[in-house]
Structure 1
Amino acid sequence: MTASSDFRTRSAWTMTLLLTGLALINFLDKIVLGLVAVPLTAELHLSPEKFGLVAGSFFWLFSTSTVVVGFLSNRFPTRWLLLAMGLSWALLQLPQAMTTSAVGLLICRVMLGAAEGPSFPVSVHALYKWFPDRKRNLPVAIINQGAAMGMLLAGLLIPLVTRQWGWRMNFLLLGAVGAIWSVLWLCFGREGQLGKPRAALPQQGNVDLSAATARSHRLPYRRILTDPSVLCVFALGFTAYWTLGLTLTWLPTYLEKGLGFTGVEAGRCFAVVIATATPVNIGLSWLSQRMLERGATTRRARVHLICLSAVGGALIYILPTLFHLLPLQKVALLAMACALPTLSFTLAPALLAEMVPDIQRGSLVAIHTALASLGAAFAPVAMGRIVQLYGSANSHAYELGFVVSAALLTAAALAALRWLHPERSHRMLNHFVTRAAA
């Protein structure tokens, strides 16, 4: 583990603030399509199934670009990779504002997804260069709350902008916000130094040398990607992204068409759902970090919390199908159901970083994001087909889609409780890399 004596508190939290702003913009870009779905589908004459296809297209190249840029982040400074992302996002908002066809919109969303895919893993990799292992839960949780804040602002502001100036104006405003962030990052963004090899590191005994060797030598990716613990982290991430994909693309429509809220009311309810995730995610992340500081194992402090959160969210997703509830009661339940699985976004990168060599951390977090985000690509299409079958004005159709999410969350959590042992995987991989370097 990297010595914490290199930890520079002020600079580390400055980078956290900037990267939180980037996450905010990232999720504004993601959610805007769902919040303008009703006027957009009416103008472009899209059926629910076609809208689900367009919405899911955002993730078609998301995974590919995430892996490619993730490997690049092992070799190139994250500062410049993140700047390139911010600028490209800003530019890609313009053609979305001017599109006049479903095909044009689909192409724009595919390109934007490719540009935004690497954001989270590269941000986490950049942040881990500033924070040692036992201090990583909270800053990543804060970055994730930048995403939550983006969705919260989207729910409050996008319906108002749409009502006042039309749905296209939202994309123009997002382009301006992305450009402003890029200027700030160019001025203040820096590269962290934790984990960077030193030319003249004094020898401090065989144990320290073995640990340093394990963290600075590469493992075969075949061995890492077949490790049961790594596969379980991927499965948890897939289900978390599945629920996120439904939230981004179908929750606003469910609130408006399924539950009967007006566009502005639906936006406010959406904001409530998103706002709930912030205290839940930060509170659970703080609890996990506190447990680690008091000597708890990673399996207890991270794995068990993720699994309990996933199962809790799954159970709450099922409740609207079992009981007759008022619309506001369903909103309250959805707020908790959507919030609990987000803990995976915070703790999964920390689990991977603990198990694999530092030199491969960026690529592994990227591979995780790439594979997990496939859930967000499939979920809108699956929900679209269910809604197409049962009718977009029927709340039961959307709730059946949430039951599918519940089943996936439960299956991934049970698998992780059985096979996700980060300390065991770390020892096995560490033993392998130490032998290979001997």
Structure 2
Amino acid sequence: MNHSTALPPRAAWTLALMLAGLYTVNFLDKVVLGMVAVPMMAELHLSPAEFGLVAGSFFWLFSVSTIVVGFASNRIPARWLLLAMGVSWAAIQLPQALATSALAILVCRVILGAAEGPAFSTSVHAICKWFPDHKRSLPIAVVSQGAALGLLLAGLLIPLVTRKWGWRMNFFVLCGIGLVWSIAWLYMSRERGQRDADTQAASGSTHEDSRAPARLPYRTILTDPSIVSIFLLGFSAYWMLGQNLTWLPSYLEKGLGFDGIDAGRWFAVVIGVASPVNIGLSWLSERMLARGASTRVARAQLLSVMAMVAGALFIAVSALDLPPVGKTLLFALAGALPTLCFPLAPALLAEVVPESQRGAVVAIYTALASLGAAIAPTVMGRMVQSAGPGNSHAYENGFMIGAALLFVAALAALRWLHPERSNRVLSRQLEPVSA
């Protein structure tokens, strides 16, 4: 289950960095709505609950498209799937820039979410083809740090663009960025032997084995205790991600009292903390594996402990009477720790499931886990509207819900997430299909 059509290290890392760039674009597209929330809500006369609904609509088709493209990724080269994503993301920015109603924004966000949903699972599937199992955590972490870079750039630049040219100009800028990446990917992915590796891995064939790849019923895979535990961890991490992307800028501005520019800068600080924490913990996981630790320890237990620490820190943000800067710094560390799930969960899945079904399973994981990001903004919006947007405790009570989910998922994983055991159990059930 851990075979790989690995590319030479330099070629693999070049393409991994390109995918990190794609993920930067992905998160710029995601977070822009939260960053322009205040002027957009004022111009379009949106209540907090209405804005939460519009923001959450991004994830309505996110899961469906992720699963559909995930199954397709087992047959279609990742090069073309990723190019199609980049071009479509750029195109959908224009109607958002010109929209004059909440309904128009909502429709655009639904379409954009459908187009962006498969990005991570397709990228992870490609990474797993280019790197062997014991070297996957770090490149997946690097790709996921494109998200941190996107959020960092958003916090620094979007408020400035909004102040100088208005909130709509941000969408025009994002259109241009998406097109630039797409052109670069079309050129770069043509090199490095990528076409051959994609074709071989997508077909599931090798030179040594002319039979069709071994497969399992998806019901067998998806009911495995380790797989269920990974899904729970992913759901809690995506819950915090969706909640923070949508409401952290408003929490900083309306709840903690920072002005628009300072709120953007502190948002960048929060995101900036996540990147070194994520990379550092992913590196630690790889070092533990290199020194002989089991994946149960180096991935599953490390991830579970970090989720529990994050939950405790979110509770502290709400419980402690700290000045705004203190709350922001504590929130930064709390928000950084759950992001370890993004590189480690797919690596755990790739270890357990059959290679021929890896793309589909990672896509199903992303689809189901990302439901947390679809639900969280609406839940927070209703809480904020009930208490008033200037009440910081309304936001903090929402963060407490996310903390509870992190604790539940971590405890379940500590009890049931045993990747080596699941690998053995599922491997015994594998039967190659006759060609």
What TM-score results when the alignment is normalised by the length of structure 2? 0.95
Q: Is the 8 A contact 1:232 1:420 kept in 2?
A: yes
Does residue 176 (structure 1) correspond to residue 176 (structure 2)? The answer is: yes
Q: Which residue number in structure 1 is paired with residue 424 of structure 2? A: 427
One-letter amino acid of the counterpart of residue 184, structure 2 = L
Please state whether the residue corresponding to 1:129 is helix, strand or coil: helix
Q: 1:40-55 to 2 correspondence within 5 Å? A: 40-55=40-55
Please state whether the residue corresponding to 1:250 is helix, strand or coil: helix
Of 336, 354, 365, 1:368 maps to 365
Does residue 249 (structure 1) correspond to residue 246 (structure 2)? The answer is: yes
Total equivalences in the alignment: 427
Deviation, structure 1 residue 246: 1.0
Does residue 301 (structure 1) correspond to residue 298 (structure 2)? The answer is: yes
Deviation, structure 1 residue 201: 2.0
Does residue 384 (structure 1) correspond to residue 371 (structure 2)? The answer is: no
Of 171, 183, 197, 1:193 maps to 197
Q: Could you list the runs of 5+ residues in structure 2 that have no partner in the other structure? A: none
| Distance in 1 between residues matched to 2:273 and 2:25, nearest whole Å | 19
Q: 1:156-171 to 2 correspondence within 5 Å? A: 156-171=156-171
| Distance in 2 between residues matched to 1:192 and 1:37, nearest whole Å | 45
Q: 1:343-354 to 2 correspondence within 5 Å? A: 343-354=340-351
Deviation, structure 1 residue 294: 1.0
Residues 397 and 227 (structure 1 numbering): CA distance in 2 closer, same or farther, change over 3 Å? same
| Distance in 2 between residues matched to 1:4 and 1:279, nearest whole Å | 28
Q: Is the 8 A contact 2:94 2:171 kept in 1?
A: yes
Q: Which residue number in structure 2 is paired with residue 104 of structure 1? A: 104
Percent pairwise identity: 62
Q: Is the 8 A contact 1:73 1:122 kept in 2?
A: yes
Q: Which residue number in structure 1 is paired with residue 403 of structure 2? A: 406
Q: Could you list the runs of 5+ residues in structure 1 that have no partner in the other structure? A: 203-211
Q: Which residue number in structure 2 is paired with residue 266 of structure 1? A: 263
Q: Is the 8 A contact 2:152 2:269 kept in 1?
A: yes
| Distance in 2 between residues matched to 1:398 and 1:198, nearest whole Å | 51
CA offsets, 1:345-380, max 9 Å, x none? 010001111111111000000000000000000000
Deviation, structure 1 residue 266: 0.3
Deviation, structure 1 residue 126: 1.0
CA offsets, 1:253-286, max 9 Å, x none? 0000001101110000000000000110000000
| Distance in 1 between residues matched to 2:253 and 2:393, nearest whole Å | 14
What TM-score results when the alignment is normalised by the length of structure 1? 0.95
Please state whether the residue corresponding to 2:430 is helix, strand or coil: helix
Q: Which residue number in structure 1 is paired with residue 215 of structure 2? A: 218
Does residue 337 (structure 1) correspond to residue 344 (structure 2)? The answer is: no
One-letter amino acid of the counterpart of residue 147, structure 1 = A
Residues 254 and 2 (structure 1 numbering): CA distance in 2 closer, same or farther, change over 3 Å? closer
Q: Which residue number in structure 1 is paired with residue 393 of structure 2? A: 396
Deviation, structure 1 residue 178: 0.2
Does residue 67 (structure 1) correspond to residue 73 (structure 2)? The answer is: no
| Distance in 1 between residues matched to 2:3 and 2:66, nearest whole Å | 29
Q: Which residue number in structure 2 is paired with residue 138 of structure 1? A: 138
Q: Which residue number in structure 2 is paired with residue 33 of structure 1? A: 33
| Distance in 1 between residues matched to 2:393 and 2:27, nearest whole Å | 27
CA offsets, 1:266-314, max 9 Å, x none? 0000000000001100000000011111111110000011101100110
Please state whether the residue corresponding to 1:216 is helix, strand or coil: strand
| Distance in 2 between residues matched to 1:199 and 1:137, nearest whole Å | 24
Deviation, structure 1 residue 321: 2.2
Residues 36 and 303 (structure 1 numbering): CA distance in 2 closer, same or farther, change over 3 Å? same
One-letter amino acid of the counterpart of residue 378, structure 1 = I
Q: Which residue number in structure 1 is paired with residue 86 of structure 2? A: 86
| Distance in 2 between residues matched to 1:262 and 1:339, nearest whole Å | 24
Deviation, structure 1 residue 127: 1.4
Please state whether the residue corresponding to 2:131 is helix, strand or coil: coil
Residues 95 and 435 (structure 1 numbering): CA distance in 2 closer, same or farther, change over 3 Å? closer
